[in-house]
Chain A
């Protein structure tokens, strides 16, 4: 089974949260399975899951249902995902809205790598555009860099005014 994370799970922190939630669910599932085997009457409440976890669990149990084995596999897949997924940090000029995040994440997973994780930061001094840190490289496409790079052309522009 290939894990496809929803766009709401974008960053490494989101992935860690997802893994923790799934871990909690898995523990609850194990306890419930044991109780069921021993015919225990007391049932603990199912943990509240986020939409992302719900979607994953739903897709996990769509064909054969959720069992311990599939949960173990999911946990392993998440660990593998966290270990191998490339991470990209996008710094914007302002805190990104959910829509902007979703757009950028979906584009990244469609065009760069399907398992890429995207972290978001903001720095108002960029003025606009973005700075991307991917691996050991940094791609600066901010307005600030463009203004500073073009500062040498300013006298020429001033002459034409």
Chain B
């Protein structure tokens, strides 16, 4: 910001100098190509020979021509000097502006490169951070997946074992019922009580106390 302000001030100053020099040059050129008419003396009727000095006309003419030539040479010299100064000033101005431009461009490029580098580094950091996060997340997901899979496998094995146990129990129960039904159907015919008499008496003896207690309770 300060650089651009300085540049503007310098450019304005140069413009001012160029304007002043240009106006001076224009006046000199105008005076050179359209000299001004000499001023009429204050007492025109008074002959020149009678005006202070008593210079002969030939001498006066000669002096005039000499002064004109001198003036012309001075003018030419001034114009050349002005031209040279203008050229020098323009060259210096161009150089200065080129240098300023190149400095500004270099400065901007440097700043641009710096910001680019900072952005690159930031992006690199962000990307590497994101990559590490993604890697961690992937690892976490893998671990959870493995854990979940192990749980599911364990649950499946437990379910299968429970189902198998249930089926085995069902089969055992059905088999027991089948055998009991078979025995019941087969043995219920031709029962011989005579052979069971001892067994009946032994059962009564075994549970005698219960029977006596029941009779007493009922009484």
Contacts and interface: CB of A to CB of B under 8 A. Distances in A.
Contacts of A124: 188-189, 191
Contacts, number: 99
A135 B214 contact: yes
Tell me which of A88, A99, A139 has the highest count of chain B C-beta atoms within 10 A of its own C-beta: A139
B56 interface: no
A112 B203 CA distance: 14
Contacts of B175: 154-155, 158
A48 B76 CA distance: 195
A93 B203 contact: no
B211 A143 contact: no
A42 B130 CA distance: 136
Contacts of B200: 92, 100, 104, 129-130
Nearest to B195: A128
Interface stretch (A6-14, A15-23, A75-83, A145-153): A145-153
5 contacts: A113-B212, A129-B196, A139-B207, A139-B211, A155-B172
Query: What size tier do the contact residues of chain B reach?
Result: 20 to 34
Contact of A134 (B179, B196, B197, B211): B211
A12 B179 CA distance: 39
Nearest to A94: B191
Nearest to B218: A135
B171 to A, nearest CB: 8
A93 B196 CA distance: 10
B194 to A, nearest CB: 7
Contacts of A139: 207, 210-211
Interface string B161-186: 00000000000110111011001100
Given A103-B197, A107-B204, A155-B172, A134 B184 contact: no
A74 interface: no
A111 B204 contact: yes
A44 interface: no
A121 interface: no
B40 interface: no
Interface residues of A, number: 40
Given A93-B188, A94-B191, 15 more contacts: A92-B200, A93-B196, A94-B193, A97-B193, A100-B193, A103-B197, A104-B200, A112-B208, A129-B200, A130-B203, A134-B211, A135-B214, A154-B172, A154-B175, A155-B175
Contacts of A137: 214
A147 B205 CA distance: 22
A103 B200 CA distance: 10
Contacts of A125: 184, 188
Tell me which of B175, B177, B193 has the highest count of chain A C-beta atoms within 10 A of its own C-beta: B193
B201 interface: yes
Contacts of B214: 134-135, 137
Contact of B194 (A88, A97, A130, A155): A97
Given A147-B180, A155-B176, A96 B215 contact: no
Given A96-B193, A124-B188, A129 B203 contact: yes
B219 A86 contact: yes
Nearest to A132: B211
Contacts of B208: 111-112
A113 B215 contact: yes
A69 B211 CA distance: 37
Contacts of A99: 194, 197
